[in-house]
Amino acid sequence: MSKQTYRVCFCFRRRFKMTAGEAPDEIKKLFDEYSENGIMNPDHLQRFLIDVQKEVNTTRDDAQNMIERCTNELKHLNIFHRKVLNLEAFFKYLFSDLNPPLESLGVHHDMSAPLSHYYIYTGHNSYLTGNQLSSDCSDVPIIQALQRGVRVIELDIWPNSSKDNIDVLHGRTLTTPVELIKCLKSIKEYAFVASDYPVVITLEDHLPPNLQAKVAEMVTSTFGDILFSPGPECLKEFPSPESLKKRIIISTKPPKEYLKTKDVPKDGESESQKEKNSGNNKETSAWGREVSSLKGGTVTDYKQDLDDDSNDEEDTEDGDPKSTESSHYIAPEYKSLIAIHAGKPKGGIDACLRVDPDKARRLSLSEQQLEKAVLTHGKQIVRFTQKNILRVYPKGIRFDSSNYNPMIGWTHGAQMVALNMQGYGRSLWIMHGMFRANGGCGYVKKPDFILKPGSDDEIFDPKVRLPVKTTLKVTVYMGEGWYYDFHHTHFDAYSPPDFYTRVGIAGVPADTIMKKTKTLEDNWVPAWNEEFEFPLTVPELALLRIEVHEYDMSEKDDFGGQTCLPVSELRRGIRAVPLHSVKGEKYKSVKLLMGFEFV
């Protein structure tokens, strides 16, 4: 063993283990203040939990129980004595899973309002295992999405090669198909493992009437009584998630529209090819590019009108019912399955956003169409989504299954902001953060101000800067766990890593920002001890973004973990924040110790 290698190994052994001596000064001061003779008993802990952690209803018994839980769960550390906490035990408790950053509230939003009053966890091309052009189609990503809590599954249905059955695939690409019946059976099996609230299946239908009838038979035989089928007519108002618990809902366009439009390219293919030929590059480096926003955008940034964008994914304009070809071939049993009717009326964006008091429907816009529309029709979009459902989907050139900024849709009331769940990256991290709220049930109630009806002056406009409602103070104390979860040469071959943390807000444009700590060199247990303030004008829509990276002078910085948390459910005080991988999987050991305060 060389001397250099020996020094590196010695450094690793010496530095990887977090000890009380590495506790930040603030933590040591708090322990001194809330302990006596180096010991924190239940009375001391109760006072700490009330004063610092703002757990104002904590009793002495609660504090005693917490110490007992610490004794049981952290007993392998041999730092607990007589069921009281010393500094090291207190430090370990703060850094443990017993001290999470979010309130454990379960499902606590009002779930009795119409579906249109909720953000819904929505997937795009839910059957794809990878990219949009050549990956396999499978029920596995559908199962994985449902296990995560996704509530809207998209299936593209096409005739199989022999034209006698139905496949699910991304049409006019090299993706390999999977049988529809296999997807339906998997949906039934896994629909409610993560949440009891309804699952919506959006069908992108490319079938002739005889196969539509076969779909109807498959759907009804697979789902039976759990299928919600209100009949062939549009609902006047959508039912509530509470009333639809453990139900399956079908959403698509009524068949008459497909008879005229079934050959329209999928996912904006013409537009995709046009953009590709014009030299536009697809996004690279899934997590490396920051999430785009509409900050500073103007109408001239989006020169085409919505009317010109005829290559959208599913909602080509509805025709006159009287002139629909071969209407007598429509499969009535298929039409009666559709609970959420989709469609795009003639007349451009104004017609699309017209609210019919007698019908509740679904409209789909591509991410580009939405970006164009919010610049000129932002308030109309918000008003439309108070009664109707707006679905947003990725542009066609995202061949790599990358994603767009979901906040643009959410801040305008869009319920179904569809992302590629296999795409990873910052946009999907934000989505994971949004749906950690409300017990992770897949439905998050929209704030009242987005649902408030009224004149244009009274409708919420996310582009208008409002007064600051509250300021979130975030302290990044320190981090640990990389030594356990990463190979010891993962970041640098010959020295400990150089970590920094990025922390910021995803929300309305006025609140959106990212900041970063200093970079700490050569440390597996970095202690930044830096405080940041985030004035929030719309805290109800704010998500706290957290990322850790390792600085690399010569190459792209290495990824060290991320998470995103709903500000509305943050626990005040000093909390242990678990970090996740690029794919959103929770690390076993990697955490940050952070402080949260609202002023």
Q: Residues with catalytic annotation?
A: 124, 170
Nearest one of 531, 571, 528 to 548, comparing CA atoms: 528
Cβ count near 133 (within 10 Å): 15
CA distance 453 to 450: 8
Residue 199, classified by CB atoms within 10 Å of its CB into exposed (0-12), middle (13-18) or buried (19+), is buried
Residue 508, CB half-sphere, CA atoms under 13 Å: how many?
22
The DSSP call for residue 539 is G
In the block, tokens 């290495």 appear at 558
CA distance 209 to 259: 8
CA distance 434 to 116: 17
The DSSP call for residue 524 is S
Cβ count near 64 (within 10 Å): 16
29 phi-psi bin (left φ>0, alpha ψ -120 to 50, beta other)? alpha
Residue 32, CB half-sphere, CA atoms under 13 Å: how many?
7
| Tokens read off for 505 | 């807000």
CA distance 476 to 527: 8
